[in-house]
Amino acid sequence: MTYCLAIKVDDGLVFAGDTRTSAGVDDVRTYNKMHITEEAGDRVFVILSAGNLATTQWILNNVKRDLADPDAPVNLRTVRHMYDAAEYIGTLSVRAQKESTAYGQYSNVDFRTTLILGGQILGEDPSLYLVYPEGNCISVSPETPYLQIGESKYGKPILDRIIRPHISLEDATRCALVSLDSTMKSNLTVGPPLDVAILPRNALKITHRLRLDLDTPYYAALKRAWADSLERVFRDDLPKFEWETSQQTML
Amino acid sequence: MTYCLAIKVDDGLVFAGDTRTSAGVDDVRTYNKMHITEEAGDRVFVILSAGNLATTQWILNNVKRDLADPDAPVNLRTVRHMYDAAEYIGTLSVRAQKESTAYGQYSNVDFRTTLILGGQILGEDPSLYLVYPEGNCISVSPETPYLQIGESKYGKPILDRIIRPHISLEDATRCALVSLDSTMKSNLTVGPPLDVAILPRNALKITHRLRLDLDTPYYAALKRAWADSLERVFRDDLPKFEWETSQQTML
């Protein structure tokens, strides 16, 4: 499995993901799941991937091939709208799966891949799309300002509690890291290092790109601060049951 | 689905669960999933259930039937050890599923149920067992001091961070409630009211039994305090990125 997520707040977009790829517990590798295409000042796209690695690489290679081909009917440099980019990626994804299935129809392999495409094109709002293996897509909304792919359940509650459109890009990034950290603690198929990219609204370039391992000072400090804070909240900040307070009164 | 959990700490056991039962999104009901058998001063058993409701009720009715039958070869009053109780419940579970499958072999219904059995028998330590649909069981350990059944992923990270053998029964209970609350926020098949039971070590009776709805004052206060605390942690307690601090210095 994998766990990647992208968050849209008023100030822009945050992307984060793990790097563990596994084809069984004895075949574990590290792969970058975050792919950035930047035409600084005009457009930025970030793709996050979860699913069949060969399908994902087929898509990414064809994205590159189309970018280098002046005769390509559509590529990420020529699409007018973010929605067109999402449709284009979806079409590539379906083609990749179709080819693999044609050759691999007698195997039980799952060729599907699910993608998050996010970014901004000059003149448009930043936006995020979840591209399903079937090639169709959905975008975020103000009520649902984040998207997740892969092993999404462990890290969802903290997003539901913290992510609001008005929070800063940095708070959204910290929340994404806590969400990833919680998932890594509970599920072995999600593992470090973690990748982060921050795309502020109208910057039209990735302003911060981080790779965080367990011993990277910032990430180690974040993990410690989060663990300490939660313990303190449980010790000091949650309401006591009535029998606890009455016991105290009786002392 | 369902979400129930049980926690073992040095001071005793905590049981908690939701009450939502669904056979599809248009067939949602409320059922108690926590079943207590108490022989105060001698033994206490708590059963939590997730899975097929008919199977669960078959098991519980047979537990009762055996308790009332002086000729029953084994029942919860006569078992010597908690492990024997877990094996007994597992045997009942397998029998229930076998009967249903014999009659319902042409249907696609899933007759399985997964149970948590916890409690204490005089002279033994308190203990918790997860009884699989196959009738076998596993117990908690000091390294894994809690058990979950049903929709367990959303609520697992907070347990991993907070539950340690030395924490109080009340802190364990608050953690169980936060775990349930996070799950209810993210998954519609888990719903209020919530049931809680606390069995202190060597009390040999349930000392606190709570049913908490969304507007029960304690639960409402806990939810609010938890949400406020997390927001405060994000605002004040997590480390800043280096570019945030350098921006501050430059002001």
Cα B96 to chain centroid distance, Å, stands at 21
How much is the pLDDT for A26?
85
Q: Report CB contact under 8 Å: B218, A185.
A: no
Q: Which CATH code of 3.60.20.10, 3.30.750.24, 2.60.120.620, 3.90.1150.10 fits the domain covering A3-214?
A: 3.60.20.10
* CA nearest neighbour of A49 among A41, A38, A61, A65: A61
How much is the pLDDT for B234?
94
Q: Burial, A72: exposed, middle or buried (Cβ in 10 Å; 0-12, 13-18, 19+)? A: middle
Q: Which residues contact A212 (CB under 8 A, 6 or more apart)?
A: A177, A192, A193, A194, A195, A196, A218, A219
How far is it, in rounded angstroms, from Cα A23 to Cα B191?
36
Q: Which residues of A touch B239 (CB under 8 A)?
A: 218, 221-222, 225
How much is the pLDDT for B251?
45
> In chain A, where are the structural domains located?
3-214, 225-251
Peptide bond into B217 cis (omega under 30): no
The C-alpha of B118 sits at a distance from chain A's nearest C-alpha, in angstroms, of 23
Q: Greatest CA span in chain B, whole angstroms?
A: 84
How much is the pLDDT for B146?
98
pLDDT tens string, chain A, 251 residues long: the values are 899 999 999 999 999 999 998 888 888 889 999 999 999 899 999 999 999 999 999 999 999 999 999 999 999 999 999 999 999 999 999 999 998 888 877 778 899 999 999 999 999 999 999 999 999 999 999 988 999 999 999 999 999 999 999 999 999 999 999 999 999 998 888 999 999 999 999 999 999 999 999 999 999 999 999 999 999 999 999 999 999 987 655 54
How much is the pLDDT for B245?
80
Q: Report CB contact under 8 Å: A161, B241.
A: no
Nearest to B174 among A162, A218, A238 (CB): A238
Report A:98-157 residues touching B (Cβ under 8 A): 153-157
Judge contact between B82 and B119, C-beta under 8 A. Answer: yes
Q: Distances in Å between the alpha carbon of A65 and those of A32, A114, B66? A: 19, 21, 72
Torsion, Cα of A52, A213, A127, A203 (10° steps):
-140
How far is it, in rounded angstroms, from Cα B111 to Cα B104?
9
Predicted interface score ipTM higher than 0.95: no
Judge contact between B219 and B208, C-beta under 8 A. Answer: no
Q: Report CB contact under 8 Å: B174, A221.
A: no
Q: Which residues contact A32 (CB under 8 A, 6 or more apart)?
A: A19, A195
